[in-house]
């Protein structure tokens, strides 16, 4: 799969996250669509697709959401996508359960790193989330990553490059 598909998908996911998903909350927690699908994309398709998704999705979110410093979300997503790629490499081939658990665990790091970066770069006060909110957000992200991993893998099998012998 070329890098154009993850780039366009990341822009669409960022638009969806910044518009529709701000109104669809569980309690006071909203899912992080770009993050969750980015983890699934990286673990299912590899480095190029994952990093393209993380960078383009992060920059788009920074442009669409008010009060965010340009590059803060992109930096956070790139760092955590790289972590997910290391986990995928260690647990090769990545099973669906590994994708969901990775998204759940990295959700805590995503919130912490993003809040720390926003506290340093903008006038947003560093106020941590409560543990129940972090757990609910992690479960939402894990569910989204699980569904996204299934969809990404199916699309890659259908439309991706066929595997051939390298002579």
Q: Which tens digit of pLDDT belongs to each residue from 129-155?
A: 788 888 988 999 999 999 999 998 888
When pLDDT is cut at 50, 70 and 90, the band that residue 5 belongs to is: confident
In total, how many domains does the chain have?
1
Q: Which domain holds residue 125?
A: 4-159
Q: DSSP characters for 14-25?
A: HHHHHHTTTT--
pLDDT at 126: 61
Is the residue at 126 inside a domain? yes
In a domain, 167, yes or no: no
The CATH number that applies at residue 64 is 1.10.1760
Residue 125: per-residue pLDDT: 66
Q: Residue 164 domain-assigned?
A: no
Residue 84 lies in a domain: yes
Contact by Cβ (8 Å): 80, 104: no
Query: What angle is formed at CA 126 by the lines to CA 121 and CA 128, rounded to 5 degrees?
Result: 140
The long-range contacts involving 124-129, CB below 8 angstroms and separated by at least 24 positions, are 124/67
The 3-state DSSP class for residue 106 equals: helix
pLDDT tens digits for range 97-117: 899 999 999 999 999 898 888
């Amino acid at each position: 799969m070329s890098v154009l598909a993850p780039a366009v998908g990341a822009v669409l996911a960022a638009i969806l996250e910044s518009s529709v998903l701000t109104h669809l909350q569980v309690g006071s927690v909203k899912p992080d669509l770009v993050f969750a699908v980015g983890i699934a994309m990286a673990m299912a398709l590899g480095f190029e697709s994952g990093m393209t998704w993380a960078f383009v999705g992060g920059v788009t979110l920074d442009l669409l959401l008010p009060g965010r410093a340009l590059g803060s979300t992109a930096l956070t997503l790139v760092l955590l996508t790289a972590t997910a790629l290391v986990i995928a490499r260690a647990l090769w081939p990545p099973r669906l359960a590994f994708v969901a658990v990775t998204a759940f665990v990295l959700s805590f790091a995503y919130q912490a790193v993003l809040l720390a970066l926003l506290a340093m770069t903008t006038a947003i006060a560093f106020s941590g989330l409560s543990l129940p909110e972090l757990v609910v957000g992690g479960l939402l992200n894990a569910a989204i990553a699980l569904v996204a991993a299934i969809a990404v893998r199916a699309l890659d099998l259908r439309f991706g490059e066929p595997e051939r012998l390298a002579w």
